[in-house]
Amino acid sequence: MAAAPEHRDVLIVGAGFSGLYLLHRLRQRDLQAHLVDRAPSVGGTWYWNRYPGCRCDVESMTYSYSFDEELEQEWSWSTRYADQPEILRYLNHVADRFDLRRDIQLETSVTAARWDEDASLWRVTTNHGELTARWFVMATGCLSIPNTPRFPGLDRFDGAWYHTAAWPEDGVDFTGQRVGVIGTGSTGIQTIPQVAAQAEQLTVFQRTPNFSIPAWNGPMDPAAEAARKAIYRETRATARRGPTGDIWPESTSTALAVSAEEREAEYERRWHEGSFSFLSSFHDITTDETANETAAEFVRNKIRATVTDPAVAELLCPYNHPLGTKRLCVDTDYYATYNRPNVTLVDIKDAPIEEITETGLITGGTEYAFDSLIFATGFDSMTGALLAVDIRGRNDQSLRDLWAEGPHSYLGLTVHGFPNLFTMTGPGSPSVLSNMMTSIEQHVEWVDECIGHLSEQGQTTIEATPDAQADWDQQVHDEAYATLYPRAASWYMGANIPGKPRVFLPYIGGVGKYTEICANVAADGYRGFVVA
């Protein structure tokens, strides 16, 4: 007779920021929590993403845990925006400092999970066997399943090729090489300047130009760090109340209500502030097309002033989507890189890549030869990691089938028909439209308090009602379509994945508003849920 599978009260999948914090929180309760991850290290997204130039686009002192004041005060970031190695060191420090590793099982891939109706628990299949758990938490991240290249002929390319989301741990030396980069989203914009400084020749293949704002990154100023640490509690509270989960002040003015001179001055100020502050210049930038165009043209003029070749500058200027409706990029010397004599930009919008050959690729009837190819083609965002696992709820309902035409959720946290399943920063939550750290902590705390409350009450299941889920789906849709965001063929809409339903995935109503909604649901006896 086979041995019974190991049982835990809570099984968490994913050893990134969400999973580690939830494990720590659950430790404070009389519950057995267990965390698994397919990687050989903790870190989640920040373990796998180690391409050249990989860096967070949110400031270090905001993109960090706020739950422990001693941790906040003792950790010092070396730069304004932390790079991948430093973030990974931070996460390893957290795992050690809070003694989390004893409940973490690495190199463990979850392939399937099935709700056992009779036992009221989840049966989870991994590459090491089966586990059971009362509560099942998918903390698998929003950008963790690479959008793999599907170009014909890739298997016959004689050179080396890389995806930015699966970069070799020891790095790659491109010295003396002819390198091609496909993709100019966030990862491409971070990678391209780094590779250009190394390669003999770099050719960038761009389908859609993206708006990018300078990071103005640099070493952390000790005085600025000390000043922030002195008011850390206040800034964290500000982030939680605001619409983006960050500390940038949201303007109460509209772009068209001020003079052209005032508008230009505010854009200039925000430009030199750097990062996502620019989107907060005026509160109608993401809702009014005319207002948005004033901001978009400001950025285009910055591109034209930076790139010395007018034809190249114009190719880099986005026109096919409102500013911010594709994820705004944050860069270091991206546009200036196109002034280098060893960098060439190729527009493939009207002449897509036809095939990969033994020596390079063909686009527009022209063949380009390369020693290495880099695919900066992004991720199957928000739903990819959830649907990579065969999750089955009541009556053997498949989550893949249920979401075949787009995801359904209540609060972006739960799904009707899938009791005791929580999706951290899942579709239908602020997630990728916010400072992820703020949203992660809010989700972790809500889930922890929910599980704790039910356990204390002797209740074993919680499940969203169909009406509550339908109402939330409608609210997510209505909030999105009150803005310009759905006009862009973005990964927010699933548009980067062939065949993926075109549905606006995150909740755009704001972090502060969302947090209040979640708190009220819990305070009202978990309104919209059936608890038993």
Kindly tell me if the per-residue pLDDT of 4 is higher than 90. Answer: no
pLDDT, tens only, 476-502: 999 999 999 999 999 999 999 999 999
The amino acid at residue 77 is: W
Predicted local distance difference test score (pLDDT) of residue 416: 98
Quickly state the pLDDT bin for 336 (edges 50, 70, 90).
very high
pLDDT, tens only, 217-240: 999 999 999 999 999 999 999 999
Domain 6-42+100-145+381-531 has CATH 3.50.50.60: yes
Exposure of 37 in the CB half-sphere (CA atoms within 13 A) = 27
> How is the chain split among helix, strand and coil, in percent rounded to 5?
35, 20, 45
pLDDT, tens only, 279-325: 999 999 999 999 999 999 999 999 999 999 999 999 999 999 999 99
Radius of gyration of the chain (CA): 23
Give the pTM: 0.97
Domain borders along the chain are: 6-42+100-145+381-531, 154-375
110-116 and 390-392 as β-strands: parallel, antiparallel, unpaired?
parallel
Q: Are 434 and 391 in contact (CB under 8 A)?
A: no
Predicted local distance difference test score (pLDDT) of residue 3: 67
Burial class (CB in 10 A: 0-12, 13-18, 19+), 145: buried
Quickly state the pLDDT bin for 2 (edges 50, 70, 90).
low
Q: Are 106 and 127 in contact (CB under 8 A)?
A: no
pLDDT, tens only, 170-205: 999 999 999 999 999 999 999 999 999 999 999 999
Quickly state the pLDDT bin for 249 (edges 50, 70, 90).
confident
Mean pLDDT computed over 396-403: 98
Q: Are 205 and 346 in contact (CB under 8 A)?
A: yes
**DSSP code of residue 327:** P
pLDDT, tens only, 441-483: 999 999 999 999 999 999 999 999 999 999 999 999 999 999 9
Question: Whole-angstrom distance between the N-terminal and C-terminal Cα of the chain?
Answer: 33
Predicted local distance difference test score (pLDDT) of residue 211: 98
Burial class (CB in 10 A: 0-12, 13-18, 19+), 380: buried
